[in-house]
Amino acid sequence: MTAPGGRLPRRLITDLGEGDLAPSRRFARRQIVGIIFGLVGIALIAAVAPNITSDNRSFAFEPPPDPLRFEFVPTTLVTVIGVVYLVCAVLSFLPERFDRLALSAQILSAGLAIPLILGVSLALSSAPETNVTNLLDESLVLATPIALGAMTGLWCERSGIINIGIEGMMLASAGVGYMTYAVLGSASSTGWLWVSILIAIVTGGLMASLHAVLSIRYQINQIVSGVVINLFALGLTGFLRSEVIVPSGHSKGTPTPEISIPLLKDIPILGETLFAGKPLHYLMYVVVFLTWLVMYRSAWGLRVRSCGENPHAAETLGINVITIRYQAVILGGFIAGLAGAWFSMESQSGFEDNMTNAAGFIALAAMIFGKWTPWGAFGGALLFGFARALGSRLQFLSVEVGDFGIPSEFFQSLPFLVTLVVVAGALGRAVAPAAEGQPFTPSK
């Protein structure tokens, strides 16, 4: 029975209550984000701003002795950002036709978290200024292994193979590569340095081959296979360090040299950050670009993605799914090997137990955050690299709340807290390749 005009009677809708025909009252994702920004904005205005110093602080944007500075009053900075957060909360509840405006406001608000954290940290420390350019430089450098690890995961999972063994591949490559450098090159020979980097890359490929054989040939659970890789690498590198590297007397060596692009490195503010660095760091950009180019602009990249989405359909088109998966996983292993070489022969020029410090797992989070795309994963790597650099900077500033000095362990855990928050927020939107983790048996 319907009312005139084809509508259901009001009493029937009332009786249905919260049923399928009743409008949903749950908040959308952007509204939930808006509520969070609103609550943070209220806290900033009502609780934070009145309780921090009003003495001038400054952000420096160039190296000493006379850098470009931006001076500010912490109370004003916090209040202004709090107001922006409240405006963002209001815009998040506008009708759907204003989605783009709400999204822009949320992106702006998220970006303002950087000056907010730095400004509040300066206000809670005795330091009068902090160098933002150096912080960005550190962020890019620390993002190097995370971006490379994310590319490793991308090649594996786009072909349908879950790889949580990235951490082990990096660690094994770092240990074997530096062992070669220490024993054969006395950790000082330039020629042996590059040979050792190549051996580290090959080691990553061998570890990936083991993962591929276990996952593809023997169809072992891919999570278990990744755990095996991690544990094997942990034991192997611990043995190599105690029995080979330390007895060699070359626990520390000469790292890769710094290179710079003439003229471009003299550009104010960002010249030193973008155009002066070490070779493996620059190779990271090349790997990200080539990953995008091959995966999305070549026939072989299309085959890799088809094997991760629907391997049986790919097989009907004449694609050898098994071969493609082997190739993609091993290619990812080579990239993980490059990341391992960065740890032991560019960043520290030495090897320590478990020196990768969960970079492989953070790389997986960056890949998920980036929705299994090269540039998205690279953006996630930059975020996590910034979190690590920020943790070190806050520890250096000796931030105190009242008379309580924040322990260094909190700053060291900051990247992992960011990982939890980002992955929790990204999992609702990110869609993994459809056939990820599914064993494949050829029909012929």
Whole-number Å distance between alpha carbons of 62 and 224: 48
Q: For position 399, what pLDDT does the model report?
A: 76
Whole-number Å distance between alpha carbons of 220 and 207: 16
Whole-number Å distance between alpha carbons of 45 and 130: 24
Question: Can you give the pLDDT of all 444 residues of the chain as single tens digits?
Answer: 445 544 545 544 444 444 444 444 577 778 888 899 999 999 999 999 998 888 888 988 877 777 788 899 999 999 999 999 999 999 999 888 888 898 899 889 988 988 998 898 888 888 888 888 888 889 999 999 999 999 999 999 999 999 999 999 999 999 999 999 999 999 988 899 999 999 999 999 999 999 999 999 999 999 999 999 999 999 999 999 999 999 999 999 999 998 888 877 878 777 777 888 899 999 999 999 999 999 999 999 999 999 999 999 999 999 999 999 999 999 999 999 999 999 999 998 899 999 998 999 999 999 998 899 999 999 999 988 998 888 888 888 877 776 666 777 777 777 778 777 776 665 556 788 999 999 998 886
- Looking at the chain, how many residues does it have? 444
Task: Using only the alpha carbons of the chain, give its radius of gyration.
Answer: 26
Whole-number Å distance between alpha carbons of 154 and 400: 40
Residues 6+ apart with CB under 8 A from 206: 333
Start-to-end Cα distance in the chain: 58
Q: For position 24, what pLDDT does the model report?
A: 47
Which tokens is 290 given? 């080539």
The CB density around residue 2, as the number of other CB atoms within 10 Å, is: 9
**Stated pTM of the model:** 0.87
Nearest to 145 by CA among 119, 171, 121: 171
SS3 165: coil
Per-residue pLDDT tens over the stretch 398-420? 777 766 667 777 777 777 787 77
Nearest to 177 by CA among 165, 162, 163, 192: 192
Q: What is the DSSP string of 358-391?
A: THHHHHHHHHHHTTT-HHHHHHHHHHHHHHHHHH
Per-residue pLDDT tens over the stretch 108-156? 998 898 899 889 888 888 888 888 888 888 999 999 999 999 999 999 9
Whether the CB-CB separation of 266 and 200 falls below 8 Å is answered with no
Label residues 164-196 b or e (16+ Cβ within 10 Å = b): bbbbbbbbbbbbbbbbbbbbebebeeeebbbbb
Q: For position 403, what pLDDT does the model report?
A: 66
φ and ψ at residue 322, rounded to 5 degrees: -60, -45
Nearest to 131 by CA among 284, 308, 29, 273: 273
Residue 346 burial by Cβ neighbours in a 10 Å radius (0-12, 13-18, 19+): buried
What distances in angstroms separate CA 333 from CA 95, 203, 278, 308, 433, one per listed residue?
47, 8, 22, 17, 19
Nearest to 92 by CA among 81, 71, 107, 82: 107
φ and ψ at residue 127, rounded to 5 degrees: -75, 135
Nearest to 161 by CA among 400, 327, 363, 410: 327
Which tokens is 388 given? 């690590």
- Tally the C-alpha atoms within 13 A of residue 222's C-alpha that lie toward its C-beta: 21
SS (H, E, C) 196-253: HHHHHHHHHHHHHHHHHHHHHHCCCCHHHHHHHHHHHHHHHHHHHHHHHHHHHCCCEC
Distance of CA 364 to the CA centre of its chain: 8
* Residues paired with 58 in a beta bridge: 71, 129
Nearest to 96 by CA among 186, 30, 25: 30
The domains found in the chain, sorted by start residue, are 29-123 (no CATH), 132-426 (1.10.3470)
Report the greatest alpha carbon distance in the chain.
Answer: 92
SS3 170: helix
Residues 6+ apart with CB under 8 A from 289: none
